[in-house]
């Protein structure tokens, strides 16, 4: 009897320690690269710039050290599904609160473990090839989560990505070019997301419909047709592209809705499982929000996740 009581208290102690460690790990940025960042150029002048409002990080730019910040649901509701968040900002800054932390907390409410990726902005000052810098970070982020899936109690086959605006471009680029070798990985772990959620995404670098600010930051002022095509995700969809949920507003004046329409058609034509919601009103950058488009898309997204067995 005494041994059983000791065993019981030992189990309780282990659980309590685990819960405390989990609490301590919450919201603590994890360095994405353990060793040298691939293609890195050391720069003293290019320092990260953070903007706060009432002690809450709103946005950041000039990212030199990419990180993942973990947000976990309570242990009772956790279902093993995880989502990496790619905030938007036209590849010039990252909307860390509206398209980062707030989305992470929302995902937590459905038992999803969330990771906010603070990825590097394209910059000739700090990277040898600025066009692939963000993709390198995105690929390694998925690999890191999959590599540590057991440690974080995650299902390695239910790792998704959600991207907003330029972050949506990064999510679509990853979805269509996850096999591309952009750096020397230390293992053979796949960087393919199991599903993707794209919210008012930049998809194409075609000058007729692209977001010009994102294109210029990523590819330069006058990119070649070859380079533009390479970073137009609608041209690289194939049958192995992960299932995708897309949201856009018809009245988006920053990123034309044609970006999402063309990507949806490319997915449909290649028989990739996909769902798209185009709302009459919403503009651009609505995040979760409470009016117009944004009061509808979150529920539609949850229904899609449930119908595809990503969450119970």
Tell me the residue range of the domain where 81 lies: 30-307
Q: What whole-number distance in Å separates Cα of residue 33 and Cα of residue 295?
A: 37
The answer to whether position 10 is within a domain reads: no
CA-CA-CA-CA torsion sign (211, 213, 219, 222): positive
pLDDT at 26: 66
- Contacts for 168 with CB less than 8 Å, ≥ 6 apart: 86, 88, 198, 199, 200, 201, 202, 203
Cα distances (angstroms) measured from residue 44 to each of 47, 62, 124, 134: 7, 12, 13, 20
In-domain check, residue 6 = no
Indicate whether 144 belongs to any domain: yes
Domain count, the chain: 1
Average pLDDT estimate for 125-142 = 97
pLDDT in the model for residue 292: 78
Q: Are 219 and 227 in contact (CB under 8 A)?
A: yes
Which CATH number belongs to the domain containing residue 46 in this structure?
3.40.50.1820
**What six digits make up the tokens of 261?**
């329409």
Flag whether 79 is in a domain.
yes
Task: Tell me the average pLDDT of the chain.
Answer: 92
Condensed to tens digits (0 to 9), the pLDDT of residues 202-219 reads: 999 999 999 999 999 999
Q: What is the DSSP string of 156-190?
A: TT-EEEEEETHHHHHHHHHHHHTTS--S--SS---
Percentage of residues of the chain with pLDDT beyond 70: 92
- pLDDT of 103 above 50: yes
**Domain contains 17:** no
Low-confidence winner among 181-185, 245-249, 289-293 (lowest mean pLDDT): 289-293
**Domain assignment of residue 257, yes or no:** yes
The confidence score (pLDDT) of residue 4 equals 53
Amino acid 24: pLDDT:
40
Measured between alpha carbons, how far is 297 from 34 in angstroms, rounded to an integer? 37
pTM of the model: 0.91
Averaged pLDDT, 112-116: 98
Q: Which of 100-104, 225-229, 291-295 has the lowest mean pLDDT?
A: 291-295
């Amino acid at each position: 009897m005494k041994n059983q009581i000791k065993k019981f208290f030992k189990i309780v102690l282990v659980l309590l320690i685990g819960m405390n460690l989990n609490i301590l790990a919450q919201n603590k940025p994890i360095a994405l690269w353990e060793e040298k960042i691939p293609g890195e150029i050391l720069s003293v002048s290019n320092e990260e710039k953070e903007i706060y409002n009432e002690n809450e990080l709103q946005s950041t730019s000039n990212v030199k050290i990419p990180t993942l910040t973990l947000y976990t649901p309570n242990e009772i509701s956790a279902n093993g599904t995880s989502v990496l968040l790619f905030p938007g900002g036209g590849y010039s800054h990252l909307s860390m609160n509206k398209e980062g932390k707030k989305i992470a907390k929302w995902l937590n409410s459905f038992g999803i473990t969330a990771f906010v990726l603070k990825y590097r902005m394209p910059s000739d000052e700090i990277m040898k090839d600025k066009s692939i810098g963000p993709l390198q970070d995105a690929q390694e982020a998925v690999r890191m989560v999959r590599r540590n899936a057991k440690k974080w109690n995650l299902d390695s086959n239910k790792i998704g990505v959600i991207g907003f605006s330029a972050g949506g471009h990064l999510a679509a680029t990853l979805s269509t070019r996850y096999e591309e070798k952009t750096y020397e990985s230390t293992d053979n772990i796949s960087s393919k997301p199991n599903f993707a959620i794209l919210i008012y995404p930049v998809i194409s670098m075609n000058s007729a419909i692209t977001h010009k600010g994102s294109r210029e930051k990523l590819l330069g002022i006058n990119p070649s047709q070859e380079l533009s095509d390479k970073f137009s995700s609608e041209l690289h969809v194939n049958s192995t592209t992960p299932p995708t949920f897309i949201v856009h507003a018809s009245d988006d004046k920053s990123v034309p809705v044609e970006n999402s329409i063309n990507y949806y058609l490319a997915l449909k034509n290649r028989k990739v499982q996909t769902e798209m919601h185009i709302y009459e009103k919403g503009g651009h950058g609505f995040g979760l929000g409470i009016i117009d488009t944004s009061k509808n898309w979150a529920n539609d997204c949850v229904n899609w996740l449930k119908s595809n067995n990503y969450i119970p």
